[in-house]
C-alpha cells in the first residue's frame, strides 16, 4: 500500500503517525510540507477527500490563524499555501482516503 504523509519532523504527532505507517509496511512518500508547501488547490483536494473544511484543519494555536477566525475556505486555503505552518498536521493520504493524524491512530482507518 502507498501512503503520502505531509510531515513535520519536529511534531510528535507527526512522528507517531509516520511510525504507524512504517509499522503497517506502507510504501511512504514523506513530504515535509514546511519545506515543500502544498498549493491551495492541493489542500482543497485533500480536505475534500478527508471530509474536512479548511477551518477544521487550521492550526488555531498559530498567531497567523487568529485573523482567519471568520474567514471563508478560499481565504484560509490561500493563507495555508502562503504560510504552511497554519496547516494542522500530519495529513496522510492513501487510496482509501485522507485522514488528519490527530490522534495518530486515525490513519489506521485508511490503511
Domain 2-110: assigned CATH number: 3.40.30.10
Q: What's the confidence (pLDDT) of residue 47?
A: 98
What are the tens digits of pLDDT across the range 54-106? 999 999 999 999 999 999 999 999 999 999 999 999 999 999 999 999 999 99
Q: What is the pTM of this model?
A: 0.94
State the burial class of residue 45 (Cβ atoms within 10 Å of its Cβ: 0-12, 13-18, 19+): middle
Domain residue spans of the chain? 2-110
Rounded to the nearest 10 degrees, the angle between the axes of helix 73-82 and helix 40-50 is 120
Nearest to 77 by CA among 100, 97, 52: 52
- State the catalytic residues: 11
Amino acid at each position: 500500500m502507498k501512503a503520502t504523509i505531509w510531515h513535520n519532523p519536529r511534531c510528535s504527532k507527526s512522528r507517531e503517525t509516520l511510525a504507524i505507517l512504517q509499522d503497517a509496511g506502507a510504501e511512504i512518500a514523506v513530504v515535509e510540507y514546511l519545506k515543500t508547501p502544498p498549493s491551495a488547490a492541493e489542500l482543497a483536494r485533500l480536505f475534500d477527500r478527508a471530509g474536512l473544511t479548511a477551518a477544521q484543519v487550521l492550526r488555531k494555536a498559530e498567531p497567523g490563524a487568529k485573523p482567519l477566525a471568520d474567514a471563508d475556505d478560499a481565504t484560509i486555503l490561500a493563507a495555508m499555501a502562503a504560510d504552511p505552518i497554519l496547516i494542522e498536521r500530519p495529513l496522510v493520504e492513501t487510496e482509501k482516503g485522507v485522514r488528519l493524524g490527530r490522534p495518530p491512530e486515525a490513519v489506521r482507518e485508511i490503511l
